[in-house]
Structure 1
Amino acid sequence: MNDDLDNPRNTDGPKDRKFVEALARGLDVLRAFSQGSVVMGNQDIARITGLPKPTVSRMTYTLTKLGYLSYSPQLEKYQLDSGVLALGYAYVSNLRVRQLAKPYMDEFARTTNTSVGLTCRDRLSMIYVENCRPAEATSLRMDVGVRLPLATTAAGRAYLAAMKDEERQHLLDAIRTRNPDNWAELEKGLEQSFADYAEHGFCLSLGDWDRNVNAAGVPLFLQDGTLMALTCGAPSYLVSEDKVKNQLAHQLAMLARDIERLGV
């Protein structure tokens, strides 16, 4: 079911006359493919988005005509088409911070033998917009477009820790609503991350997202006010918890400051 986070339809005040409901629903349909299977039918999309099936049918038909979805008659299901890829590529290729930060990230990845990622937030996820790895294929492979949960990853925790209190609480409420059964465990990890950030300037995920992965994350503040997050990580057999906490995390924080000084 769609969490509707950051969606103007959630507001309790007067209806926003500039808000185009049909367009929002069409984008909800496209977003459904980031939460479900690669190939989905109208019923699957309706379940994920919470939209009525007749509405979904009209949306998928229109999006197919526009080249954002393709339809398989054999499967009677839809998948994303090249129109979506073109939009995503245009965003990533024109992201100035990505272009300027990449040489610094490449060097960090090479010298530390870790995977270094640049991420931005989409609702309750962090999305990779760049990932650099050393020549050896022993570190994590996280391609552009990969989504990570906010609550358990170093990138997500760093992003949350750097937010203003009111904005952070809005996201924490949404995470709690989405994860009622394990919220107590998530909250404990988040509180520790916020304490780490307040004291050291970084957050950790030591087996919390993946029990075989140790990672550190730091926020990245762009000049236009945009908040992103840098992360570095590797399999736990390559980097110990102690190394991440006492060495790599501090180096990552310095990398973030170096990138910020580029004036992005």
Structure 2
Amino acid sequence: MATKTRGARPARTGDQLGPKSANYHTHALTRGLVLLDLLASAPSPMTLTGMHEHTGLPKSTLVRLLAALTEMRFVVRVDERPAYRLGHKVMALADAYVSSVDFSAAAGSYLDELARETQQTANLGLLDGREVVHVCVRQPDRPLRFETSPGARDSTHSTGLGKMLLAGVAAGRLPAHLPAEPFPARTDRTITSLDEMSKEVRRTGRRGYAVDDTENSAGLRCLAVPVTVKEQPLAALSVSGPAGEFTPKRQKEYLELLHATAGRLADDHDVVAVLLGMHASMSEP
């Protein structure tokens, strides 16, 4: 009986495989790459029959391609059906790809535009235990602005980035990402209890953005939104600046720009690859 693979791409005929620029001399390479792409999209090992159904390639051709990929350790045969999955050699390529990406340039171009359009400081942050790590920062070209730098750390309980990141944490894990009660009061508006913070995080999750209303620094406001990839919040994106400039009208404009920029970041494969690596390396308390 034919094997159906959930999540794999629709079948393509042999003539449809690969780019139109492929010629006789590149067909073997193109088909091998198509097989790797197909295996990467499958949630479980694929049988030879399954690959035949999805690619339209003759089984004899698939056997030859798989033999070469297996010998090079890009593919592993897992049983006698036979079925195959990606091999460890693919990880070396993935690691090399991620390490070659200039994250500051890749993500920074989006934050540059956001800082220019809002005239506020744009900041991309990740959750690391009980802290927020600023991984990319761009500032507007003006003397009055919020100052921070990549690599700087801040509190989760008093910042817009922190609240937005906490909104993606399971309720039972929330205390592990917060300081001991009472939380340090950065200003007279800082939330200092777990009960109130839990309510604030739920509000943040429902509305889809976080607000730091002079809670981390007197006179400073911040709005933050999630950067979500495949329903997983990987990071948070914010703009921060003088509280008096965050009028209701401006806040609406800022949020539109934040959501649009977060969407572009989530659609950029280079940015997402590095964020995934960073996210995996962050500590759990």
Equivalent residue in structure 2 for 1:161, among 167, 171, 190: 167
Is the radius of gyration larger for structure 1 or structure 2? 2
Q: RMSD across aligned C-alpha pairs, in angstroms?
A: 3.1
Which stretch of structure 1 is more off in the superposition, 157-166 or 189-198? Answer: 189-198
Would you say the 8 A contact 1:131–1:142 is kept in 2? yes
2:200 paired with 1:196: no
Q: 2 CA distance for matches of 1:167 and 1:186?
A: 12
2:238 paired with 1:231: yes
Q: 2 CA distance for matches of 1:121 and 1:252?
A: 19
Aligned 1:84-123 pairs, distance under 5 A? 98-123=104-129
TM-score of the pair, normalised by structure 2: 0.51
Aligned 1:110-189 pairs, distance under 5 A? 110-171=116-177, 174-177=178-181, 179=183, 187-188=195-196
Query: How far has the Cα of 1:113 moved from its partner?
Result: 0.3
Would you say the 8 A contact 1:205–1:214 is kept in 2? yes
Would you say the 8 A contact 2:124–2:135 is kept in 1? yes
Q: Structure 1: which amino acid aligns with 2:183?
A: N
Q: Structure 2: which amino acid aligns with 1:246?
A: K
Query: How far has the Cα of 1:175 moved from its partner?
Result: 2.7
Q: 2 CA distance for matches of 1:93 and 1:214?
A: 35
Q: 1 CA distance for matches of 2:124 and 2:232?
A: 16
Q: 2 CA distance for matches of 1:211 and 1:108?
A: 23
Q: Structure 1: which amino acid aligns with 2:202?
A: F
Q: 2 CA distance for matches of 1:96 and 1:190?
A: 37
Is there any run of 5+ residues in structure 1 with no aligned partner, and where?
Answer: 1-91
Secondary structure in 1 matching 2:204: helix
Secondary structure in 2 matching 1:162: coil
Is there any run of 5+ residues in structure 2 with no aligned partner, and where?
Answer: 1-97, 273-285
Would you say the 8 A contact 2:130–2:176 is kept in 1? no
Aligned residues: 169
Query: How far has the Cα of 1:250 moved from its partner?
Result: 3.2
- Relative distance call for 1:193 and 1:185 in structure 2 (3 A) is same
Q: 2 CA distance for matches of 1:119 and 1:216?
A: 13
